[in-house]
Amino acid sequence: MTWEETILFIREQPEYKDLVALSYLGKDLKSNVERFKASKEFEETVKIIKDFAPNATSILDIGAGNGISSVSFALSGFEVTVIEPDTSVTVGCGAIEILKKDIGLSNLSIINSYGEKLPFGNGLFDIVYARQAMHHAAHLGTFINEAGRVLKPGGLLLTVRDHVIFGDEDRKEFLETHPLQKFYGGENAFTPKQYLSAIMNAGLVVKKHLKYYDSIINYFPVTASEVNNTAKLMKENFRQSMQKRFGSWVVNFPFLQLFELISRIKNGEWTDERRIPGRMNSFIALKGTL
Ligand SMILES: C[S@@+](CC[C@H](N)C(=O)[O-])C[C@H]1O[C@@H](n2cnc3c(N)ncnc32)[C@H](O)[C@@H]1O
CB atoms within 10 A of CB 237: 11
Q: Is the CB of 115 under 6 A from ligand 1?
A: yes
Q: Is the CB of 65 under 6 A from ligand 1?
A: yes
pLDDT score at 236: 78
Question: Please, which residues bridge with residue 110 across strands?
Answer: 82
Protein residue with its CA nearest to atom 22 in ligand 1: 63
What is the spatial distance between Cα 271 and Cα 171, in angstroms, rounded to a whole number? 20
pLDDT score at 223: 87
Q: Which residues contact 215 (CB under 8 A, 6 or more apart)?
A: 44, 282
Q: Domain ranges in the chain?
A: 3-220+277-287, 224-267
Question: Please, which residues bridge with residue 164 across strands?
Answer: 190
CA of 206 relative to ligand 1 center, distance in Å: 22
Q: What is the mean pLDDT of residues 138-143?
A: 98
User: Nearest to residue 118, comparing CAs of 85, 83, 153?
Assistant: 83
Least confident of 9-13, 77-81, 226-230: 226-230
Q: How buried is residue 15: exposed, middle or buried, by Cβ count under 10 Å (0-12/13-18/19+)?
A: exposed
pLDDT score at 255: 67
Residue 201 has pLDDT above 80, yes or no: yes
Is the bond preceding residue 277 a cis peptide, omega within 30 degrees?
no
CA dihedral 132, 137, 142, 143 (to 10 degrees): -20
Question: Please, which residues bridge with residue 284 across strands?
Answer: 158, 208
Helices (H) and strands (E) in the chain, counts: 13, 7
Contact 284, 48 (CB under 8 A): yes
Give the tens place of pLDDT for each residue, 60-104: 999 999 999 999 999 999 999 999 999 999 999 999 999 999 999
Give the tens place of pLDDT for each residue, 23-71: 999 999 999 999 999 999 999 999 999 999 999 999 999 999 999 999 9
| Residue 61 or 258, more confident | 61
pLDDT score at 224: 83
What is the spatial distance between Cα 192 and Cα 180, in angstroms, rounded to a whole number? 23
Ligand 1 site-directed mutation target among 59, 132, 158, most atoms within 8 Å of CB: 132
CA dihedral 22, 28, 32, 33 (to 10 degrees): 180
Say what the pTM is.
0.90
Atom of ligand 1 nearest to the CA of 36: 9
Instruction: Look at domain 3-220+277-287 and name its CATH class.
Output: alpha beta
How many residues comprise the chain?
Answer: 290
CA of 247 relative to ligand 1 center, distance in Å: 52
User: Where do the DSSP E strands lie in the chain?
Assistant: 58-62, 79-83, 108-111, 125-131, 151-163, 204-210, 280-287
What is the spatial distance between Cα 212 and Cα 278, in angstroms, rounded to a whole number? 10
User: Where do the DSSP E strands lie in 38-150?
Assistant: 58-62, 79-83, 108-111, 125-131
CA distance readout (Å), 222 to 135, 159, 167, 284: 21, 19, 25, 21
Q: Is the CB of 116 under 6 A from ligand 1?
A: yes
Mean pLDDT for the chain overall: 93
Q: Is the CB of 26 under 6 A from ligand 1?
A: no
What is the spatial distance between Cα 177 and Cα 180, in angstroms, rounded to a whole number? 9
Contact 142, 116 (CB under 8 A): yes
Confidence of residue 264 (pLDDT cuts 50, 70, 90): low
Contact 148, 118 (CB under 8 A): no
pLDDT score at 17: 97
User: Nearest to residue 163, comparing CAs of 44, 283, 29?
Assistant: 283
pLDDT score at 70: 98
Q: Around 218, how many Cα atoms within 13 Å sit in the side-chain half-sphere? A: 22
Q: Is the CB of 84 under 6 A from ligand 1?
A: yes
